[in-house]
Structure formats: structure tokens, C-alpha cells
């Protein structure tokens, strides 16, 4: 199904995100024939000179980061550029003229997407101007797409939300959480709700714990200025990790509509047990990387990175235990873990099932491995089910095996980029895989207690080596409940 005719007004058109993700993703939609022929993109930034310069920029982005480029010339002919400082009130009038002209030229029916791929400090200003200068006055649809971070805590998120709500309705706001565009994150729902064998077991009677890990090999790279003020808790847990937990824990929606799905996810966040300040250390631990070896190369400690203060108290690792107080999940811990400069790049979910009542095959200390359902989100995509079977031969002994499904090997090609799917959804007006304000607010409320406690105390940093699986306290968090991280499953 093709997207409707529309204009995309892209603020931050020369930024890293636009270059690495947005242009290649939009191009893929175009080449697959999913993008309406009636589309135009207006890039807004300060650096470039004009349309020609911008088109070369987009071309370069697709040649560098995209997979294909056969119809590039045709594609970039839809791109227009306006040099514009977003805090300069006078230039919005000019922008409106350009947008109105393109609307007519491409018969865009007044449909407009305003994509803010720039620092959140500008979101309020831009939204305000779009309304005041008449760009949001249109006969078609208008949608605002914004990137993370959505605020720094609950208070700043509320302020930001109030500002953009002056110009857009909640249903017109598309808050990107690119994890929600990932193939296997979208697959959580399907695995759960399209299979008879999982849903009956998907509760506290059969599941002992659930683990969500997102680890990176990369360090802070050139994002230190942003990262050092935020840390892993705000950068990863408040959004991506909480979103994955709500998809894993939500009740089946009555139908697959945006409102129904979001409402089930919100209920999970409402059932999340709030942590009291004095309990923070019991439920959450943090870490910061020290120097170490990665792929045979020495890498510096976080505190020695460019633009990081030598006594930085910012965490580059978080592990935590979440409890969801409802009938389905009472007593089942959801462990989450995320960190930079870890041993491997991996995002995965492990569902550990409870042990069976007795081991009939017990022999000299032998034990049965628990059944695990592993959902690999990235870089591998697929699911693995861990079972016990009979060891071949005369004796009755068990051995663990893995039933494996990998989308990479089945389709023979990479699944579409998260951004490609999210742009497509947004153009079609499907907000299911974007974050609703209620989710943002509830998750900040939960996170704020932890960050407040952590800010008041100096972390025992650095406490894990680059290239390791994180600090010892992370293993201890599970060990005290009698569990361990399934790192190599």
C-alpha cells in the first residue's frame, strides 16, 4: 500500500541522523514503490547553500549508507532546501511560501509531516513558529515527528509536551522510539499472540523471570556532550528498555489498533511497582567503564573520553529489577541490563521458564537446564527455544538442545531498517509504534526516583572493564534471587 501524497519538512537536514538513517530509509520506500509519487522533502538547516548542494548531500548519504541507488536521480529531484535558523522568526514566512508552492506543484493535498531531527531544545520554538506562521494551517493532515530524548526528567518532559501541544494534538505527535521499529521487537506481539503454545504459559505460573539485555561494544564516541548529562538510565532505560518490557508484559489487546495496544502498554507501566528512594540500591545498580581491551585494541576509560569530566558520575551501565504488580506477573522479576563498552553487541530477551516439579533423569548431580525462549533483536534476528532431549544411545540421560529460527538466514537479506518502517507508518498515519505521552510520563516518573538517588551519591566508578559483561554488582543483583544472566544463550 502506497503512502498518501505528502510533504516532509525536515528540520536538521544536515545532521547525523538524517544522513545515516532518514535519507536511506526514505529512499528504500521510494524504490520499493511504497512512497507516493506525489511527495516532496524540504530540508531545513544552516550549513548548505541551496537545492543543488542539498541534493548532492542526500545522494552522498544514500550512496554511503544505503543499500541501493538505481533510481537516485528521480528520487532527489523531489528534494528542496531552505537555509534557515530555527530561532529566527523572520524565515518561517519564507518557508511557508516554499511549502505552499510545493504543495501545489506536487498536488500534496496539504498533507504535512514536520520531522524534527535536531536537538530537543528547539522543539518548542519550532512547533510554536509552525503554528504562529501558518504552516500548520492546512487542509490535509499534519504530523509532528520528534526524536529522543523527550525531556530529561518528568518535569522537563511535561514542559516540552505542553509546548508542542500548543501546536499539535496528541494524535498528531509521533514520538520516535526506534526500538519499536525493529523487526524482532515488533515480533514480540506476534510470537505471543499468534501461537497457542506460548500465551498459556506467559504468566507467573510458568515463567520464573524475564531478562532484557541491550549491550554495545561502542563507547560514548562523539556523543559525550549529550551523554555525560544523561547516562544509560535516561538514554536507554527510560525509553527503549521500558518499551520492550511493556510489550512483553501487556495483556492481549482486544484488537490490533493503535489505541488498544497503547492502552495495554500503559497499563503495564501503571502496574510497575514504584521504587522508594531507600530501595533504589536494592533494585538498581550502575556502572561506568574503565579502560580495557576490545577486539585486541586498548580503549580508554569513560572518564578519559573527550568531553567527559575526569570525575564524571555518569553511568554507562545499568541493571535493574522491575516488578509488575498484576495478576499475570506478581512475583516474576523482569531484569533489564544495558551498557556501553561491553563484550559484545547484542539486544535480546530471555524468557526463563520455571523448573518442572521433579527431575526424573537425575543422576550424580546432573541437572535439567531450564527451558528458555530467547528473542534475538540485534544484530542477529530470530528466536531460539531451549529444550531438553534424550542423549543419543542406550542410557536415559538428557541433553539440552536449541530450536533455532533466524530471520537473516530465512529471508536471505537484512530486514528493513527500523526507520524505514517508522517513516512508512507515520506517512500512513499509524502511530502504534510510536510512544504515547502517557507512556513517556509514567516511565519518567519511575526513572526519576532512581536518577535522583544516584545524583546525590558518588558512584563507585569505574567499576567494569571495557570489553567485559559489566560490573559485579549486576551479577549479584540476580544471584540474590537465585538467578543468573543468560549471557551466552
Q: Give the footprint of ligand NAD on this chain (CB under 6 A).
A: 12-18, 45-47, 84-87, 117-120, 147-148
- The 8-class DSSP code of residue 320 comes to E
Residue whose Cβ sits closest to ligand NAD: 15
Please identify, using beta-carbon distances, which residue of 21 and 265 lies nearer to ligand NAD. 21
Report whether the peptide linkage leading into residue 149 is cis, meaning its omega lies within 30 degrees of zero. Answer: yes
Closest CA to 70 of 80, 62, 61, 82: 62
Contacts for 457 with CB less than 8 Å, ≥ 6 apart: none
User: By the 8 A CB rule, do 174 and 145 touch?
Assistant: yes
Min CB(177)–ligand NAD separation in Å: 9
Sheet containing 207-215, strands listed edge to edge, beginning at the edge strand earlier in sequence: 284-287, 317-323, 333-339, 207-215, 346-353, 372-378, 382-390, 398-406
Among candidate residues 129, 178, 240, 436, the one labeled active-site is: 240
Please identify, using beta-carbon distances, which residue of 77 and 87 lies nearer to ligand NAD. 87
Contacts for 293 with CB less than 8 Å, ≥ 6 apart: 299, 466, 467
Please identify, using beta-carbon distances, which residue of 45 and 383 lies nearer to ligand NAD. 45
Please identify, using beta-carbon distances, which residue of 42 and 45 lies nearer to ligand NAD. 45
Closest CA to 420 of 81, 20, 37, 70: 20
- The 8-class DSSP code of residue 150 comes to -
Min CB(20)–ligand NAD separation in Å: 6
Q: DSSP E strands: which ranges in 369-469?
A: 372-378, 382-390, 398-406, 464-466
Q: What are phi and psi of 272, to 5 degrees?
A: -65, 130
Min CB(363)–ligand NAD separation in Å: 52
Residue with cell 488498544: 260
Closest CA to 81 of 110, 65, 108, 102: 102
Closest CA to 290 of 425, 430, 472: 472
Is 178 catalytic? The answer is no
Please identify, using beta-carbon distances, which residue of 84 and 262 lies nearer to ligand NAD. 84
User: By the 8 A CB rule, do 470 and 315 touch?
Assistant: no
Phi/psi zone of residue 217: left (φ > 0), alpha (ψ -120 to 50 degrees), beta?
alpha
Please identify, using beta-carbon distances, which residue of 18 and 180 lies nearer to ligand NAD. 18
Q: Give catalytic residue positions.
A: 240
Amino acid at each position: 500500500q502506497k503512502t498518501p501524497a505528502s510533504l516532509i519538512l525536515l528540520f536538521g537536514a544536515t545532521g547525523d541522523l538524517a544522513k545515516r538513517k532518514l535519507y536511506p530509509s526514505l529512499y528504500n520506500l521510494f524504490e520499493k514503490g511504497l512512497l507516493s509519487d506525489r511527495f516532496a522533502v524540504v530540508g531545513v538547516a544552516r550549513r548548505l547553500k541551496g537545492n543543488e548542494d542539498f541534493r548532492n548531500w542526500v545522494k552522498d548519504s544514500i550512496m554511503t549508507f544505503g543499500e541501493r541507488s538505481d533510481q537516485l536521480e528521480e528520487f532527489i529531484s523531489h528534494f528542496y532546501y531552505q537555509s534557515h535558523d530555527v530561532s529566527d522568526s523572520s524565515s518561517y514566512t519564507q518557508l511557508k511560501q516554499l511549502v505552499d508552492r510545493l504543495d501545489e506543484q506536487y498536488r500534496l493535498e496539504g498533507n504535512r509531516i514536520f520531522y524534527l531531527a535536531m536537538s530537543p531544545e528547539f522543539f518548542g520554538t519550532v512547533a510554536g513558529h509552525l503554528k504562529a506562521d501558518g504552516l500548520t494551517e492546512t487542509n490535509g493532515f499534519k504530523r509532528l515527528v520528534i526524536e529522543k530524548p523527550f525531556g530529561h526528567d518528568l518535569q522537563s518532559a511535561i514542559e516540552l509536551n505542553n509546548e508542542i501541544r500548543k501546536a499539535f494534538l496528541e494524535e498528531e505527535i509521533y514520538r520516535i522510539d526506534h526500538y519499536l521499529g525493529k523487526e524482532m521487537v515488533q515480533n514480540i506481539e506476534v510470537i505471543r499472540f499468534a501461537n497457542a503454545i506460548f500465551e498459556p504459559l506467559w504468566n507467573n505460573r510458568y515463567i520464573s523471570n524475564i531478562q532484557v539485555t541491550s549491550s554495545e561494544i561502542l563507547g560514548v564516541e562523539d556523543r559525550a556532550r549529550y551523554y555525560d548529562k544523561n547516562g544509560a538510565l535516561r538514554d536507554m532505560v527510560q525509553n527503549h528498555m521500558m518499551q520492550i518490557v511493556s510489550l512483553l508484559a501487556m495483556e492481549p489487546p482486544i484488537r490490533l489498533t493503535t489505541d488498544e495496544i497503547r492502552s495495554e502498554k500503559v497499563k503495564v507501566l501503571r502496574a510497575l511497582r514504584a521504587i522508594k528512594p531507600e530501595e533504589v540500591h536494592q533494585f538498581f545498580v550502575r556502572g561506568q567503564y574503565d579502560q580495557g581491551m576490545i577486539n585486541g585494541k586498548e580503549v580508554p576509560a569513560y572518564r578519559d573520553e573527550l568531553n567527559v569530566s575526569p570525575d564524571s558520575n555518569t553511568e554507562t551501565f545499568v541493571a535493574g529489577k522491575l516488578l509488575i504488580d498484576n495478576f499475570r506477573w506478581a512475583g516474576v522479576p523482569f531484569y533489564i541490563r544495558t551498557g556501553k563498552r561491553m563484550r559484545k553487541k547484542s539486544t535480546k530477551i530471555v524468557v526463563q521458564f520455571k523448573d518442572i516439579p521433579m527431575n526424573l533423569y537425575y543422576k550424580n548431580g546432573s541437572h535439567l537446564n531450564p527451558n528458555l525462549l530467547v528473542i534475538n533483536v540485534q544484530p542477529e534476528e530470530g528466536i531460539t527455544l531451549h529444550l531438553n532431549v534424550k542423549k543419543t544411545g542406550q542410557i536415559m540421560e538428557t541433553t539440552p538442545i536449541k530450536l533455532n529460527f533466524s530471520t537473516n538466514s530465512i529471508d536471505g537479506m537484512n530486514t528493513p531498517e527500523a526507520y524505514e518502517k517508522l517513516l512508512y507508518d507515520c506517512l500512513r498515519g499509524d502511530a502504534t509504534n510510536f510512544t504515547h505521552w502517557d507512556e513517556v510520563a509514567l516511565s519518567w516518573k519511575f526513572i526519576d526516583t532512581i536518577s535522583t538517588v544516584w545524583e546525590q551519591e558518588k558512584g563507585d566508578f569505574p567499576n567494569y572493564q571495557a570489553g567485559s559483561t559489566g560490573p559485579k554488582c549486576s551479577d549479584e543483583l540476580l544471584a540474590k534471587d537465585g538467578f543468573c544472566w543468560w549471557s551466552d544463550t
